[in-house]
Structure 1
Amino acid sequence: MSIDRELAEGLRQIGKRKTPTIAVEVVSVDKAQGTCEVKDDELQYTVRLASVINDNAERFYLFPKEGSSVLIASIGEDENRYYVVAYSEIENVSLRIEETQLTIDKAGLHLQRGEVDLKSLLNELLTELKNAVIQTPSGVGNFSPNNVMKFEEINNKINELLQ
C-alpha cells in the first residue's frame, strides 16, 4: 500500500472514532509524571501529556499553563485513559533524548548534554576571548577595548536568550 493510501486510510479511521475530543481546563501539571489534572464542569481527571509515556529517559512534552484550556482524546477507545491533543497556552517545552535535554520557556532556552550546558560553554568562551593574550610580531597584545566591549555585549545577549 502506498504512503498516500496509508495516510488516507489512517485519516478515515480517525474520523470513525466513537469517542470525541473533550475541551477541559487545566487544574495542575505534574512535570515529573508527564500528566496533568483537568476538569470538565465538576469532574476532574488525570490525563497524559503524551499518548505514550516511557519509563526511559527519552521524552517530549508540551506543558500547558494552569488555568488554560486543552483538548483531550481517549487512547484507543478506552474512556478511562486520555491524553492532551491540543493546547490553548503552553508554559514550556521539554525534550530529552538520552543524555541531551532541551527546555524552552518564557525565560529562554536551556540546552544540556551530560554535564555540559550551552550557556556556560559560550560564557566561558567569551571570558577567555576577553582575557586572551595575543602573540604578534611586535610582542604580546590583547584585544582592543572595542573588541572587549563587543564580547561583553554578545555575552549579555547570550544570557538573555539562554538559561
Structure 2
Amino acid sequence: MATTGQLEGFDTDQRFGGSGLHIALQRASGTKPYLGDSQVVGAFTRGFLAGICERAAAVGEHSMDREDAMRADRGACHDAAAVFLDQNPAYESVGQWNSGGGMVDWMLRALDHVYDAPASEQDRERIVADVFAWAARFAYEAISAHQDDGDETGLQDDLENLADDLARFLLGVPGRFEKRLFE
C-alpha cells in the first residue's frame, strides 16, 4: 500500500532526474480521474459518445428538437475540449501534454493535411473541439448506417471501436482516428 511520498515502491518525494516520473506518479495516484490513464480516457470517450447517441435517439423519438440536439452536441464538444486542455479542475492533467500544447501539437502533426500551426489559445481549443465534433459525426454515421438494418450489435461494435480510436488519439497514440477523416 502507498504511503505519503510513496507509490507502490516508488519514492515520489525524490526526483528521478529530468523524466518527471515522480510528478506523473503523484498525478496518477491522486483522487481525480487522470488523463494519462487509458481506462479513464476510454471511459470519457464512451461517455461522450453515449451522450451523442442519447440525443440522436431523443431526436428520433421526437422528444428533442434536432437544433437543440446539435447545440447540445456542440456544447459537449467544447466541454470535452476543456477537459483535455486542462481547463476542468475535476480532472488531473498530464501536465504539459494537456496544458502546455503537447497534445495539440501532436494533433497538428497527425492532421497536418487539415490544419496549420495554431496562432492562439482559441485555435487550440477549436482544434480539440473539432476532434470531438468529428467523433460525433462518425457516431452519427454509424447510427445511420445501422438504422436500416437494425444491427444493434454492429452499431455497438462500431461505437466501441470509435471510442477506442478516439481515446488512443487523445493519448497521442497513432491509430485509426486520424485515418477515419479520409475514408
- The TM-score normalised by the length of structure 1 is 0.31
The higher radius of gyration belongs to 1
Name whichever structure is richer in strand by fraction.
Answer: 1
Name whichever structure is richer in helix by fraction.
Answer: 2
By relative contact order (CA 8 Å, sep 6+), the higher-ranking structure is 2
- The TM-score normalised by the length of structure 2 is 0.29
